[in-house]
């Protein structure tokens, strides 16, 4: 993507919401308060059962509101992307916030770093109680003052690394992701796989593919706020988190291999990690979801040549063994809830 210094490119901000009526208004306000004005705000409500609809509708034509049946995160992202018109797309979870200068800084990074297709930033983690009944502009200013000195943008070409199945440890959470529309057109529409958590296909799929398909820029500057609260993932017990991990990694690996042959090594790695986790636990085993790990692996192996079949089976066995060893260790030590990061 190439921008000139005087470009006033349209930026689309996609907000996905599910039952966050208590937060989504703050998220929308933080976007409408951007210093960069050539934006469109698209809010997708994925079948919320709380008061989200009334909150979103109160903004009238200042936002493009999409209300749909619950279909999971990938389904909501597809709806938002299909409605977008911007050359730059920024993602925002409904429980997070943008600092006022975020979009302006992102556009600058796209302008200065010619030819990039994604920009990743950072967010300041703040507890909900610190954001309640307070002047958010004061919080924004405090974060901005502290983070401006942290800015250290770096252009990154990690495409060969992704093809060789190296995980990008610089990839942040959803609300820190911005992409050119050009790169997302190669990735969307996402496979609309929901799973038990609603997130079997999530931003991991988007990040890995974008990094594998294009050059980008990473900055350590905090241009948003990550809200700490008792969300779905935080309140899950370790057994359910393992099943969620299994679904996300198996599904991501399967669909990456299905749609992008150049990333076969990464596909195998993710599939093996996910299915190893799936086999190590009986939680929801045999329960029907659209993220059917056993069916995906069987289909993957059926289409694979003999050497690949053997390789993937060994990889799955290795990952399963790591989970089993970890289960032995937790009898003596507190479990690590973010496993298999290497």
Question: What is the pTM for the complete model shown?
Answer: 0.91
Domain ranges, residue 45:
11-228
Residue 22 sits in a domain whose CATH number is: 3.90.550.10
Residues 51 and 177 in one domain: yes
Backbone φ and ψ of 156, nearest 5°: -130, 130
Residues 63 and 187: their CA atoms lie apart, in Å, by: 25
pLDDT tens for 123-174 read: 999 988 888 878 888 888 998 888 766 678 999 999 999 999 999 999 999 9
CA angle 265, 269, 273 (to 5 degrees): 170
Beta bridge partners of 97: 225
Among positive and negative, which fits the CA dihedral 184, 185, 186, 188? Answer: positive
Tell me, yes or no, whether 242 lies in a domain. Answer: yes
Residues 253 and 16: their CA atoms lie apart, in Å, by: 23
Which of 193, 228, 263 is where one domain is finished?
Answer: 228
Which pLDDT tens digits describe the chain residue by residue (342 residues)? 777 666 689 999 999 999 999 999 999 999 999 999 999 999 999 999 999 999 999 999 999 999 999 999 999 999 999 999 999 999 999 999 999 999 999 999 999 999 999 999 999 999 888 888 788 888 889 988 887 666 789 999 999 999 999 999 999 999 999 999 999 999 999 999 988 888 899 899 999 999 999 999 999 999 999 998 765 456 567 788 888 999 999 999 999 999 999 999 999 999 999 999 999 987 766 666 778 999 999 999 999 999 999 999 999 999 999 999 988 887 777 655 545 444
Query: For 305, how many CA atoms within 13 A lie in the half-sphere containing its CB?
Result: 2
Tell me, yes or no, whether 303 lies in a domain. Answer: yes
H/E element holding 184?
A: helix 181-187
Integer Rg of the chain from CA: 20
Residues 243 and 313 in one domain: yes
Tell me, yes or no, whether 233 lies in a domain. Answer: no
Tell me, yes or no, whether 20 lies in a domain. Answer: yes
Residues 89 and 73: their CA atoms lie apart, in Å, by: 16
| Cα dist from 253 to 74, 118, 200, whole Å | 15, 21, 11
CA 7 and chain centroid, separation: 28
């Amino acid at each position: 993507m190439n921008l000139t210094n005087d470009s006033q490119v349209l930026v689309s901000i996609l907000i996905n919401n599910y039952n966050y009526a208590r937060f989504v208004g703050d998220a929308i306000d933080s976007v409408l308060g951007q210093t960069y004005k050539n934006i469109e705000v698209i809010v997708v409500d994925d079948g919320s059962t709380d008061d989200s609809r009334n909150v979103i509708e109160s903004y009238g034509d200042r936002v493009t509101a999409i209300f749909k049946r619950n279909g999971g995160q990938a389904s909501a992202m597809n709806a938002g992307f299909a409605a977008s018109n911007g050359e730059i797309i920024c993602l925002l979870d409904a429980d997070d916030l943008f600092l006022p200068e975020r979009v302006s800084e992102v556009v600058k990074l796209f302008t200065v770093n010619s030819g990039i297709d994604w920009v990743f930033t950072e967010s300041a983690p703040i507890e909900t109680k610190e954001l309640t009944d307070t002047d958010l502009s004061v919080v924004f200013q405090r974060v901005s003052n502290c983070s401006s000195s942290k800015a250290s943008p770096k252009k990154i070409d990690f495409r060969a690394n992704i093809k060789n199945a190296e995980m990008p440890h610089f990839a942040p959470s959803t609300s820190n992701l911005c992409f050119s529309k050009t790169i997302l057109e190669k990735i969307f529409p996402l496979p609309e796989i929901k799973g038990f958590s609603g997130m079997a296909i999530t931003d991991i799929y988007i990040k890995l593919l974008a990094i594998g398909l294009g050059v980008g820029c990473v900055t350590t500057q905090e241009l948003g706020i990550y809200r700490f609260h008792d969300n779905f993932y935080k309140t899950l017990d370790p057994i359910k988190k393992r099943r969620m991990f299994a679904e996300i990694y198996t599904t991501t690996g399967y669909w990456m291999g299905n749609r992008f042959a150049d990333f076969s090594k990464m596909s195998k790695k993710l599939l093996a990690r996910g299915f190893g986790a799936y086999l190590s636990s009986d939680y929801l085993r045999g329960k029907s979801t659209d993220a059917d790990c056993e069916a995906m692996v069987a289909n993957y192996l059926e289409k694979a040549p003999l050497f690949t079949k053997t390789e993937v089976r060994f990889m799955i066995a290795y990952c399963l063994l790591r989970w089993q060893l970890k289960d032995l260790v937790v009898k003596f030590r507190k479990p690590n809830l973010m496993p298999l990061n290497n």
